[in-house]
Structure 1
């Protein structure tokens, strides 16, 4: 019988909610990831990034971002190095690492993520990334 993910706590800090989504993403636990995001989440991937655009709803993010990353990259990981918190806004400075499946090239690029957390759920995400580094790994 499958175990249920822990229910999010309204008492969690915004940084705790964001950290939970990183853990869930890193482990591939999409049920846990869903507990961290609002049903109407707005997820913005940066211009220049291969998946650039705005995705809405957890299913939209999973199919438009997470599943596409798994198709194109091996070992995609986000290292969430530094958290800066201002009320409901959480900025995370970190790094992406992965190997492009088509070229075999590894990449490690800097990234900043901006989250808005309300009522214990991520309602908005915006990515800022070294897209040139990502694209370099995609070029043979």
Structure 2
């Protein structure tokens, strides 16, 4: 991401910054992309299904759990569709489950709402069957 985009408050740039921070493990940068009262929804059927609030809630409830259960978790943000404050990202997850050693690559859609240069809401849509297949011995 070009340096000038790191300060941009355009919704797509904020979402890209969130992905970059997540991929590099830069939680300080990630925190600058999300609101203090962020609502983070992991899809029903996904192992971490539920709604998480606050950056600390997302880090503890989602990021730390993924890191504990999966090796090489990567979110590939392939396509961005922007409509004002709404950003939909089509992509995929890839990782290897630590318990089974099975790899997965599943399609996802992430729906963001960005206001005032921060992500206020995230909703995950995911092929949870592929995730569960990698988790099943």
Shorter-chain TM-score category?
A: over 0.9
Give yes or no for the alignment of 1:139 onto 2:101.
no
Q: What are the ranges of 5 or more consecutive residues in structure 2 without an aligned counterpart?
A: none
Residue 70 of structure 1 deviates from its aligned partner by 0.4
Give yes or no for the alignment of 1:33 onto 2:33.
no
Q: What are the ranges of 5 or more consecutive residues in structure 1 without an aligned counterpart?
A: 1-5
> Which of 58, 62, 67 matches 2:59?
62
Q: Using structure 1 for the length normalisation, give the TM-score.
A: 0.93
Q: Which residue of 1 aligns with 2:112?
A: 115
Q: Number of residue pairs matched?
A: 133
Q: Which residue of 2 aligns with 1:100?
A: 97
Deviations 1:27-80 (A, max 9, x none): 000000000000000000000000000000000000000000000000000000
Residue 12 of structure 1 deviates from its aligned partner by 2.4
Question: Where has structure 1 moved over 3 Å in runs of 4 or more?
Answer: none
Q: Using structure 2 for the length normalisation, give the TM-score.
A: 0.95
Q: Which residue of 2 aligns with 1:3?
A: none
Deviations 1:86-140 (A, max 9, x none): 0000000000000000000000000000000000000000000000000000000
> Which protein is richer in helix relative to its size?
2
- CA separation in 1, counterparts of 2:119 and 2:59? 15
**SS at 2:61's partner residue?**
helix
The Cα RMSD (Å) is: 1.1
